Amino acid sequence: MDLPSFDIERMHSGIVAGIDEAGRGPWAGPVVAAAVILDPDNIPEGLADSKTLTEKRREKIAPLIRERAMVGVGVASVEEIDKINILQATFLAMARAEAALATRPHVCIVDGSQKPKLRAKTQMVVKGDAKSLSIAAASIIAKTARDQMMRDLAVQHPFYEWEKNKGYGAPAHRRGLESHGVTPHHRKSFAPIHNILYPEAAR
């Protein structure tokens, strides 16, 4: 398996930030984006697409990224997801992540093919978290930040096992919906939740 490199970053002059998101697919919880500006002389070892790493490994690497790099995190709420749709909410979280950086980047390299509206010049990179170290770092920060948010919400709403499934449509989450219904943290615009709230519309 090819590991991400710093090659894409080196193609650009000036300060380059990698941006990625976590949480587009779950039925509950916010969508979170991260922007990371790496120090090319002090890159943490083990950076890779967050999806290829275990939760334990992500939790170990994330503090190293925060310690050695500039990090910005942006969040779009469930209310915003339901109001403007998940894609636009993802773009909003990415813009907030860019704005949260202490230093303004000249270029943002962003995972995916659909371009958010950012202040900096933007380059899209399909499967960027597997190609760019900056995007890989952002994927780890976004994922670990969102996972912690879902663990915190699970304390308030223990019946859905969000500490394990992070809001995705796992069997335990489905059982929680059947027994305890929809919470304010569920995405009402997503079909599985919408159909519970408005069963007559689902017929």
State mean pLDDT over 153-180.
98
According to the model, what pLDDT value does residue 24 have? 97
Place of tokens 């710093």: 6
Q: What is the pLDDT of residues 26-48, one digit of tens each?
A: 999 999 999 999 999 999 998 98
Binding site annotation covers 20? yes
Token pair for 102: 């202490």
Cα distance between the two ends of the chain: 46
Question: Rounded CA gap, 91 and 197, in Å?
Answer: 27
Question: Rounded CA gap, 203 and 182, in Å?
Answer: 19
Q: How many CA atoms lie within 13 A of 70 on its CB side?
A: 16
Binding site annotation covers 21? yes
State mean pLDDT over 85-93.
98
Place of tokens 């943290």: 185
Going by C-beta distance under 8 Å and a sequence separation of 6 or more, which residues neighbour residue 127? Answer: 49, 111
According to the model, what pLDDT value does residue 3 have? 86
Query: Coil, strand, or helix at residue 20?
Result: strand
According to the model, what pLDDT value does residue 200 have? 82
Binding site annotation covers 152? no
Query: Coil, strand, or helix at residue 162?
Result: helix
Query: Coil, strand, or helix at residue 8?
Result: helix
Q: Cα 59 vs. chain centroid, distance in angstroms?
A: 14
Beta bridge partners of 20: 34
Record the pTM.
Answer: 0.96
Q: Taking 90 as the threshold, does the pLDDT of residue 203 lie above it? A: no
Q: Taking 80 as the threshold, does the pLDDT of residue 154 lie above it? A: yes
Q: Taking 90 as the threshold, does the pLDDT of residue 92 lie above it? A: yes
Going by C-beta distance under 8 Å and a sequence separation of 6 or more, which residues neighbour residue 105? Answer: 14, 15, 16, 17, 35, 37, 98, 120
Q: Band the pLDDT of 81: cuts 50, 70, 90.
A: very high
Averaged pLDDT of the chain? 96
According to the model, what pLDDT value does residue 43 have? 95
Question: Rounded CA gap, 165 and 159, in Å?
Answer: 12
According to the model, what pLDDT value does residue 49 have? 83
Q: Taking 60 as the threshold, does the pLDDT of residue 1 lie above it? A: no
Residue spans per domain, the chain: 7-156
According to the model, what pLDDT value does residue 202 have? 59
According to the model, what pLDDT value does residue 48 have? 86
Q: What is the pLDDT of residues 97-146, one digit of tens each?
A: 999 999 999 999 999 999 999 999 999 999 999 999 999 999 999 999 99
State mean pLDDT over 158-176.
98
Does the domain made of 7-156 have the CATH classification 3.90.79.10? Answer: no
Question: Nearest Cα to 22, choosing from 82, 97, 80, 84?
Answer: 97
Task: Identify the H or E element spanning 147.
Answer: helix 133-156
Question: HEC profile for 39-58?
Answer: CCCCCCCCCCCHHHCCHHHH
Question: Nearest Cα to 39, choosing from 68, 19, 16, 62?
Answer: 68
Q: Band the pLDDT of 196: cuts 50, 70, 90.
A: very high
